[in-house]
Structure 1
Amino acid sequence: MSDPTLDISGLTKAYNHGLPNEVQVLQGASLTVQPGEIVALVAPSGAGKSTLLHIAGLLDTPDQGTVTIRGEDMTNLSDRRRTAVRRATVGFIYQFHHLLPEFTALENIVLPQLANGVPDKDAEARALDLLGRVGVAERATHRPAALSGGEQQRVAFCRALANEPSLLLADEPTGNLDPETSDRVFDALMALVRDKGLAAVIATHNLELAARMDRQVRLTGGALEAA
């Protein structure tokens, strides 16, 4: 078996350390995700799933524990190196699309590639290919305000995959959509992830969507267990 794309071990995280209202969010959370594996992270609101995803994606640091991505321990890396790894390796999708309103769908996908040093023509070609894969290529020149909620989120998927990450982290990516649109958008996301062979952790409240992934883990009492 190949090395896991993501290996988090013994993560602890608390907020308001030492104060009467200290909140212990994570308590020994551990998870391994292999290349090509899609894991559903199931947890109620406030259980700490966003904190877990932020630590796994190098946007936050744990109080204790380790995060290893593609065999490299992230624990003691400089901020500059962590940023470089995150930019090259990790794609994020959130419940709200967070597209830049002044740019078109195409430009929203091109921009992160330009920041990563991809030539203009190559970045545009990849953006158009991704938009085509999720069925919104004809909307490439539209700004977010002219797109439906489902179209906006599909563009956000494309943006997350623009720099060809090996790890995808998604926090309730269809939680802001109606059930019918949610199913259609989730199908597009799954097709992209399967096609690219990514390791993915997708947080969701939707147990039907969770059941369609390779396995489920539940965040309970700050730790992860098989759902």
Structure 2
Amino acid sequence: MNEPVLRLSGIRKAYNPGKPNEVVVLRGADLEVARGEVVALVAPSGAGKSTLLHIAGLLDTPDAGEVAIAGEVMSRQSDRRRTIIRRQEVGFVYQFHHLLPEFTAIENVSLPQRADGAARAEATARAQGLLESVGLGDRASHRPAALSGGEQQRVAFCRAMANRPKLLLADEPTGNLDPATSDTVFGALMALVRETGLSALIATHNLDLAARMDRRVEMRDGGLVPL
């Protein structure tokens, strides 16, 4: 059996532990995401899905439990190794695009590659190809302020894919868009994911979008259950 790209085992997380205002968010969450699988993480705002995604993407650490990415158990890795894995193996997309306003679209997509040691020409060529794949080839030289909300988010998708990660984590990636734009942008994201064959865990409260993914899990009482 192939090793899952993401495995979460018994993840627990609380804020202000042991204090009167302690908030327990995760109570032993378990999840596996197989290679090439797209999983919808369904939960209302405040249920802890962002916390789960941050732990899965090595931006936060659990109080208990294990995170494994492509078979590597993260608690056994050095901080340096965790940083490399986060940079090379995990792509992030947020509800807001977080593009750097002073850089063009192609520069925003090139930057993660340059940070990982890619040559300028190589990074630029890949960035252009990614932008063309989501219909933004002719917008590559535009800065974020000159792009629509949907275009900005598609650039953010390309940036997340820039270093050829194994895992994409997306937190309400179309949450700031109107329904028609959301549908178009989500379609572009899914096409890019399918084309590259990577795995994805996508948080959403939109059940219509969730139904277009391979599998759905719901956050309930600090755990994850099939939906």
Amino acid at match of 1:162: A
Specify the alignment match of 1:146 in structure 2: 146
Specify the alignment match of 1:169 in structure 2: 169
SS at match of 2:76: coil
Specify the alignment match of 1:221 in structure 2: 221
Q: Extract structure 1 runs of 4+ deviating beyond 4 A.
A: none
SS at match of 2:75: coil
CA drift of 1:78 comes to 1.9
Q: Which moved more, 1:69-78 or 1:158-167?
A: 69-78
CA drift of 1:18 comes to 1.2
Specify the alignment match of 2:39 in structure 1: 39
CA drift of 1:76 comes to 3.1
Provide TM-score, normalisation by structure 2. Answer: 0.99
Rounded to whole Å, the distance in 2 between the matches of 1:179 and 1:49 is: 22
Rounded to whole Å, the distance in 2 between the matches of 1:71 and 1:78 is: 15
Rounded to whole Å, the distance in 2 between the matches of 1:135 and 1:113 is: 21
Rounded to whole Å, the distance in 2 between the matches of 1:2 and 1:119 is: 33
Specify the alignment match of 1:27 in structure 2: 27
Specify the alignment match of 1:117 in structure 2: 117
CA drift of 1:25 comes to 0.3
Specify the alignment match of 2:106 in structure 1: 106
Query: Structure 1 residue 54 and structure 2 residue 49: aligned?
Result: no
Q: Deviations over 1:165-203 (max 9, x none)?
A: 000000000000000000000000000000111110000
Rounded to whole Å, the distance in 2 between the matches of 1:151 and 1:137 is: 11
CA drift of 1:2 comes to 1.4
Rounded to whole Å, the distance in 1 between the matches of 2:183 and 2:194 is: 16
Specify the alignment match of 2:97 in structure 1: 97
Provide TM-score, normalisation by structure 1. Answer: 0.99
Specify the alignment match of 1:212 in structure 2: 212
Amino acid at match of 2:23: V
SS at match of 1:41: strand
SS at match of 2:201: strand
Q: Aligned ranges for residues 69-84 of structure 1 at < 5 Å?
A: 69-84=69-84
Rounded to whole Å, the distance in 1 between the matches of 2:163 and 2:77 is: 22
How many pairs align? 227
Rounded to whole Å, the distance in 1 between the matches of 2:100 and 2:202 is: 23
Rounded to whole Å, the distance in 2 between the matches of 1:140 and 1:195 is: 21
CA drift of 1:81 comes to 1.1
CA drift of 1:164 comes to 0.3
Amino acid at match of 1:40: A
Structure 1's unaligned 5+ residue stretches are: none
CA-based RMSD? 0.6
CA drift of 1:75 comes to 1.2
SS at match of 1:32: strand
Rounded to whole Å, the distance in 2 between the matches of 1:77 and 1:35 is: 22
Q: Deviations over 1:138-168 (max 9, x none)?
A: 1000000000000000000000000000000
Specify the alignment match of 1:2 in structure 2: 2
Q: Deviations over 1:91-123 (max 9, x none)?
A: 000000000000000000001100001111110
Amino acid at match of 1:79: D
